[in-house]
Structure 1
């Protein structure tokens, strides 16, 4: 039968609509999906597909779509397809740790809040994807938590004699009131090799002087300022002060003990964490005619407290003494701005002064450099330089050192000038934590300056304490920074806290808007064993929570999600290749059993199903049978079907349609209705803007690159409806 009326046919990605031959427009019998090749009936098939209703009209469960948030917010065509065809949306990236957590650990909800508002208007529900995964993390922030702690040294040469402490004799020191004991303990300081003074208050201790250690005499230079500093901790909360002999006009001064710019108090507090005490004495603090002073460590305020003071950090510094190595550049501290440093290459706003406590390593300033574009071979494209006080001497050794941090993982190198005689440092990695970098060179002769080359990796960098020296010194100099590696227990505690902070804030913020979540994503290897985080070539956004929290990391994640979310939220675990590796499917199910044996509840299991035409259908059936036997809600969470090309043939498109229908048919056949959470199709179309990072040069989706329905649309719709919907179409077309 011929059509009485012919309407313009919307082109599909079948790309075969090249003929208007009426004999190709006959309705023919289609007993089963895909039995008639689309090349035989291209116009009739395309017409059928245009007459299908929106996909969600054929579904009896949640029909979701994995989408790009920015595309949804900005592209009207894309948004209208999503709104018309789906019940639920799953943000592909924007809800993950890497997208939301900033360099300081805070969470930026701005984009997702806008997305929630728009999807609510469209009547769409939002599925949370994903809370805990080893990829798409702000790994720079998380690794920064684990980085060694760098303890600044004293501000200058230590003029306090601590030899008697180092050898345990207390020579020059007086244990005036020893309380329950004052001794020297090896390996009890800031590092495993440093000594500590151990001071124990007695059971009756109640006055500061009940536990007192007095220093040797420290010589005074007229009109000089002094600084006293040390690191201290205690087994329980403690309290202490520093008092002085009669060389000070006020023997019991109130001070800002931690030099924080806070209030002045009689005493400082101590805890189980190392804390630096740092106070300053001005010339006016000393009595007239005083030539030296002594101080007392008074720790007797509270009974039964054990204090440790690191010996190596106990120092008295003459702040006005000419000490330290000779710096061959004029401004390496940036305490008075960035005078002497110039932008040679880079954006006009690339160079500025750094401010803020996190961005200044020591003192009151740093140098801030912003590189906008990554260019692995173009380090020189953002380049900041300064000049030496005098040119370098050929054959002589020099050391360039500096402290640097970046707001994300970055890269830096140094190079000397002029370029005709330059030496180049190898690229050095940077992180959010301050790092000391040294570059030792042998001068070629005639070098007039050097610079920082930061064009390799885009980011914001802060540089402080730049020192160029040939080894000569005007004094003993500042004490070196101390690097303290965190213990395994400390790392576990820090990552535990980071997970708690992340999940609690996400669940609380979205409590009224999201009622189903991928709590843990991709926890098992291909053989079904648990991922252990042992990876040789780790990506910049990879972070394996399991390395620090162990097998129970998922237990904690599910408990947190339940604690801070709603009691009725559906919490899923999700993984891929379950249809191709049945041992992996078994491993995931067993891990769910383990999680629940530890007191957490897992509501559902997601199987991603990023598959192709060659995927074994028998294994698909077996996977669904195994998942059904778990008794959990089952979700196809990220369904797409690759064809291996972005220019598929009509046969490939027909086969893709058949495979979409097969997956849906198998899901409905083997997963009991009560366990059918739903199906999420991953992505909308084959448009290249959706495939910049995922399956480029492919055609895995239900709409083509021009947002027209593909043959796959019919396969999905028929699978959801459980029949060939087009059999009910009449031959009468409406104009």
Structure 2
């Protein structure tokens, strides 16, 4: 390295020397960052550090930096430091499942595409972080796809007489073409205790009417519209239709069965999964003078198919029948808006309208975002609606509503007016839940509140009813169907395949190394099993549903859809403080490979402090070296326990950075040295909002001035005290 005789002190214009003292420099307050976090350093040391070259010039292995994508894209000074000093960058958050996957499971690549393009321009490579982890997941989406199926009850009373089905006699029902048989079977419907109609097609069945069950007469009211619906499944792929008697002008209607946007077909298809078939009959569909109609379940298209129809869900509802419920809330359906509801307490964005995808039924729901977690003050997020009239004194009312939350939550209702009523706290989850609360009115109640301040999170509320007596209105009840463990495993396995295949394929020409599996181990060296409790809204345990081989699958997928030369890593923390955890991770790698997958490398995060046991650091590297895998220090930082470190603390921090790199180079053979990634750039507050707040763990201080730790890191990479090679006199500021 060549140096000029005298070099100016670089770093920041915010460094101002207030006197002729050549040993100390004073720090000035930066209004953008608050108090400067660095301590006073000897001026001679500051000049030495300023003469060092960029860090990446001191090593032949990959030198990486864990960064914030937003900061890199928007902050020139931050980006310039990263570009000048590092070979590779690891996005700290933005490349994970949580920020990239939306509520529908779709991946938004826009942010990361722009980032990858920007880093390519600077000659940097991107390390993919991370494909499968339990944190920073879109847990709401993942939990949602395995949540129990909630089937709303019918919107009104059933006009169809089911007696002949429920008692098994088929009275008033006609088995016109029974195929192999049309029977009633117990415990085979949507729930384990519900009945089903079993219809079995014969080996020669080839026309719809070859397997046919005809309903009793269904009375109709002139001018009214009706809805026929039921849930059906089949043992193998099947096909069916609904046809009608002569009461309808079109006895064999073609229908847009699955709302595909105008693609009308004669028949619907069935599978081994329960699905709803629904058809609406307009008043104009009936012939003039008709007072009743019959329908046929025609399932004879295909041979040797056995169908099940849940008896409880087979219904015909008069959509125009007068409601038996007088709702004291003017808008409880939220199909078009949230009129009538207002925010009494809570954040600005607390109340909004959710679309149909987040509704229990219909076209919308009320969405409430609660930013607090105060179990004793539920009112801190409070949504209110006035009653349409005063409640009658001494009369009992039932308040009912459907609710779910994106994570575990809590809700309480209360009333306003002279005599307030308070419901007990109700637990909520990602599954829709029917909540009913009975109150005896005093007569001076004026409105209803939803009090959601107990547990932070996002809530969806639908079908709010306040009425005397029962709130169901005579329709069929809600049915909740839990998915089996096998179904959950299949669904989550497909979600993992979709996520990894799309990510690795999309970045096949821009990302060539990945953290495939992150933090799989417990502290004692055993494998996480998904039973660990957590209150985090972004927590999702893949292993809970996929078992021990979840990592096997992840590595196979990353290899299948990526490049054959991609470097695929497994990564964990505290390996230097818990050697049993290090041993357990190495054993798990052996297991993964015994199942046919290949793991290229092991990452050790090394978020350490000055008190971390140095002997254990050395032992960890020896153990990792013995694995034969590429070894990467993946997230190195050294915290000091303060954001205003002393000179001594900064010197100790520099020594610890150097020690870690020295031990890495000493014990990890050169062929196994993937490289070192420093986690974070500077001690600025904005870089530590979520990670190590009020700390000073990095190589640059809050003003982007190189710290003593910069020298320690550079000396470790170079394998010597680089400054001993400097020539020329130190500059003194007059």
| TM > 0.5 | yes
2:713 is the alignment partner of 1:716: yes
Specify whether residues 667 and 157 from structure 1 end up closer, same or farther in structure 2 by C-alpha distance, changes over 3 A only.
same
**Which of 486, 490, 494 is 2:487 aligned to?**
490
Q: Distance in 1 between matches of 2:329 and 2:728?
A: 87
The alpha-carbon deviation at position 333 of structure 1 amounts to 2.8
Is the counterpart of residue 46 in structure 1 residue 43 in structure 2?
no
| Equivalence for 1:169 | 169
1:613 aligns with 2:610: yes
Task: Say if 1:16 and 1:650, in contact at 8 Å, map to a contact too.
Answer: no
Alignment of 1:676-695 (within 5 A): 676-695=673-692
CA contact (8 A) 1:10 1:46 kept: no
Q: Deviations over 1:477-525 (max 9, x none)?
A: 2212211111111111111111111111211221111111111011111
Change (3 A) 1:85 1:351: closer
Q: State whether structure 2 residue 408 is matched by structure 1 residue 389.
A: no
Measured in 1, the distance between the counterparts of 2:287 and 2:651 equals: 96
C-alpha deviation, 1:118, in angstroms: 2.0
Decide whether aligned partners of structure 1 residues 440 and 620 sit closer, same or farther in structure 2, where only a CA change above 3 A counts.
same
What runs of 5+ residues in structure 2 fail to find an aligned partner? 26-38
SS in 2 for 1:665: helix
- Equivalent in the alignment of 1:29: none
- Would you say the 8 A contact 1:503–1:560 is kept in 2? yes
Equivalent residue for 2:656?
Answer: 659
Judge which range, 568-577 or 291-300, deviates more. Answer: 291-300
When residues 18 and 279 of structure 1 are mapped into structure 2, their CA distance, relative to the original with a 3 A threshold, is same
Who is 2:702 aligned against?
705
Residues 108 and 40 of structure 1: is their aligned pair in 2 closer, same or farther, counting only changes over 3 Å?
Answer: closer
Partner of 1:577: 574
| 2:44–2:730 contact (8 Å) kept in structure 1 | no
- Following superposition, the deviation at residue 260 of structure 1 comes to 6.8
Contact conserved, 1:5 with 1:733, CA < 8 A, in 2? no
How far apart are residue 227 of structure 1 and its match? 2.1
- Corresponding residue for residue 401 of structure 2: 402
Q: 8 Å contact 1:607–1:635 — kept in the other structure? A: yes
Distance 1:576 1:340 in 2: 51
Q: Distance in 1 between matches of 2:349 and 2:605?
A: 45
Q: Deviations over 1:104-148 (max 9, x none)?
A: 222222222222222222211111111111111111111111211
Q: Please, which moves more after superposition, 475-484 or 506-515?
A: 475-484
- CA displacement 1:435-465 (0-9 Å, x = unmatched): 4333333334311222445677787765432
User: In 2, are the aligned partners of 1:383 and 1:455 still within 8 Å (CA)?
Assistant: yes
Alpha-carbon shift at residue 191 of structure 1 (Å) = 0.8
Matched, 1:465 2:463: yes
Aligned CA distance change for structure 1 residues 697 and 159 (closer, same or farther; 3 Å): same
Paired residues for 1:543-622 under 5 Å: 543-622=540-619
Match of 1:57 in 2: 57
Match of 1:31 in 2: none
Check conservation: 1:103, 1:432, Cα contact below 8 A: no
Query: 2 CA distance for matches of 1:69 and 1:91?
Result: 6
Which residue number corresponds to residue 498 of structure 2?
501
Trace 1:474-485 onto structure 2 (pairs within 5 A).
477-485=474-482
| Partners of 1:277 and 1:24 in 2: CA distance | 80
Q: 1:334 to 1:586 in 2, by over 3 A?
A: closer
Match of 1:28 in 2: none
Q: What corresponds to 2:620 in structure 1?
A: 623
**Aligned residues of 1:128 and 1:518 also touching (Cα < 8 A):** yes
Deviates more, 1:691-700 or 1:584-593: 691-700
Give the number of equivalent residue pairs: 714
Partner Cα separation in structure 1 for residue 553 and residue 578 of structure 2: 27
- 2-structure distance, mates of 1:440, 1:382: 22
- Answer whether contact 2:40 2:646 (CA < 8 A) is retained: no
Contact 2:7 2:51 in 1 (8 A): no
Answer whether contact 1:613 1:643 (CA < 8 A) is retained: yes
> 1:631-682 deviations in whole A, cap 9, x for unaligned?
1111011111122222222222222211111111111111111111000111
Structure 1 window deviating more from structure 2 (108-117 vs 134-143): it is: 108-117
Question: What runs of 5+ residues in structure 1 fail to find an aligned partner?
Answer: 26-38
Q: Could you tell me how far apart the structure 1 residues matched to 2:458 and 2:425 are?
A: 16
Normalised TM-score (structure 2): 0.90
Secondary structure of the residue that 2:414 maps to in structure 1? strand
Q: Secondary structure at the match of 2:43?
A: helix
SS of the aligned residue for 1:421 comes to: coil
Q: 1:276 matched to which residue of 2?
A: 276
Q: Would the aligned equivalents of 2:372 and 2:381 in 1 still touch at CA under 8 Å? A: no
CA distance in 1, matches of 2:398, 2:613: 62
Q: Conserved in 2, the CA contact under 8 Å of 1:256 and 1:279?
A: no
Match of 1:321 in 2: 321
Task: Classify 1:326/1:472 alpha carbon distance in 2 versus 1 (closer, same or farther; 3 Å).
Answer: farther
Displacement of 1:585: 1.0
Question: Aligned runs of 1:313-462 on 2, under 5 Å?
Answer: 313-335=313-335, 337-342=337-342, 355=355, 357-363=356-362, 365-369=363-367, 371=369, 374=372, 376=374, 383-404=382-403, 413-418=412-417, 420-425=418-423, 434-453=432-451, 462=460
Structure-1 residue corresponding to 2:73: 73
User: Deviations 1:157-191 (Å, cap 9, x if unpaired)?
Assistant: 11222122122222222222211111111111111
Residue aligned with 2:313, SS: coil
Q: How many Å separate the matches in 1 of 2:702 and 2:23?
A: 29
Structural mapping, 1:508-523, within 5 Å: 508-523=505-520
Instruction: Tell me how far apart the structure 2 counterparts of residues 253 and 546 of structure 1 sit (CA, whole Å).
Output: 47
Q: CA deviation at 1:372?
A: 8.4
RMSD: 3.2
- What's the secondary structure of 1:699's corresponding residue? coil
Report SS of the residue matched to 1:448.
strand
Following the alignment from structure 1 to structure 2, what is the Cα–Cα distance between the partners of residues 307 and 24?
Answer: 86
Partner of 2:529: 532
Distance 1:350 1:626, change over 3 A: closer
Q: 1:573 to 1:359 in 2, by over 3 A?
A: closer
Give the structure-1-normalised TM-score.
0.89
8 Å contact 2:245–2:294 — kept in the other structure?
Answer: yes
Q: Give the Cα–Cα distance (whole angstroms) in 2 for the partners of residues 126 and 168 of structure 1.
A: 66
CA distance in 2, matches of 1:459, 1:417: 24
Q: Which residues in structure 2 correspond to 1:60-209 (within 5 Å)?
A: 60-209=60-209
Residues 252 and 731 of structure 1: CA distance in aligned 2, closer, same or farther (over 3 Å): closer
Q: Could you tell me how far 1:93 is from its partner in structure 2? A: 1.1
The Cα shift of 1:609 comes to 1.0
Distance 1:352 1:612 in 2: 45
Distance 1:257 1:97, change over 3 A: closer
